[in-house]
Amino acid sequence: MGRVTSRRRVVRLVDDAVTVRPDTLAVEEPLEIRVRGKSLAVTMRTPGDDFDLAAGFLVSEGVVRAPSDIVSIRYCAGATADGGNTYNVLDVGLGEGVASPDPSIERNFYTTSSCGLCGKASLDAVRTVATWQVAADPIRLDPKTITEFPTKLRAAQRVFDRTGGLHAAGLFDAGGNLLCLREDVGRHNAVDKVVGWATRAGRLPLTSTVLMVSGRASFELVQKAVMAGIPVLTAVSAPSSLAADLAEEMGVTLVGFLRGTSMNVYTGGHRLGVTAAAR
């Protein structure tokens, strides 16, 4: 398995003082995801929880819906000229009767740690048909419970403490208990790792749960929440306009700028008892 951190010498400037010191960086390496031996995507990620990442990615793409849809995930030997294993290439075996990803949807399957899947043919192609409807999810939350999520998320980030360079995604229940946390250089990867963990554990759909992300809330993250059956998405930063549109359309409660005791509720405010403030 690859390392999650790397050491590098840096020159540090503080006022007029110059020192040379080692610094710890978060590792970023490519991961190629293959399905039934055929290359599907290459994403830049932090090594670790790669099987969860692959499973979560396939849930987001509508390929996988249950643990039984995946019969195997393995690292591919022979990824180098000498036949070695880089642990940067995965092959996912799908169960009998599970359709392979549709090759007719034109999209750029190179992804980066910053943008997630880019270049999909159209907005309609991004709006993958959801398996579960989250609009009717009965979860109700005390806003005070939500305000504790950023602190709990930060406290559980082990690699961030050493590097300061990783995003985190955490899954909480309605009582504020942290069920799963994953870190990655890409926030979309961190979410896929959480969804993949839940998939492989047989927890889908993730009804009455809250997804908390350390950065902004993009359209893609709302889509990933919907595909996993998560009714509430909270973020420490702002959502995009398209993220808010999709959240409203799909019945997701979307909270942004969650800092201290304040937050902005963009959609689904009824789950927080603030229907007058947000639709």
Query: At residue 210, what is the residue type?
Result: V
CA distance 200 to 189: 16
The rounded distance, in Å, linking the Cα atoms of 30 and 10 is: 24
Pairing of strands 29-35, 178-184: unpaired
How many alpha carbons lie under 13 Å from residue 166 in its C-beta half-sphere? 30
Q: How far apart are the first and last CA of the chain?
A: 46
Give the whole-angstrom CA distance, residue 211 versus residue 205: 13
Check if the beta carbon of residue 197 is closer than 8 Å to that of residue 52. yes
- The two structure tokens encoding residue 26: 């978060």
The pairs formed by 246-252 with CB atoms below 8 angstroms and a separation of 24 or more are: 246/127, 246/219, 246/222, 247/222, 248/279, 250/130, 250/134, 250/135, 250/222, 250/226, 251/133, 251/134, 251/135, 251/136, 251/137, 252/134, 252/222, 252/225, 252/226
Give just the sign of the alpha carbon dihedral 222, 223, 225, 230.
Answer: positive
118 is catalytic: no
H/E segment holding residue 152: helix 149-156
User: Looking at 76, 115, 118, 180, which residue is catalytic?
Assistant: 115
Give the 3-state secondary structure of residue 48: coil
* Residues tagged active-site: 115
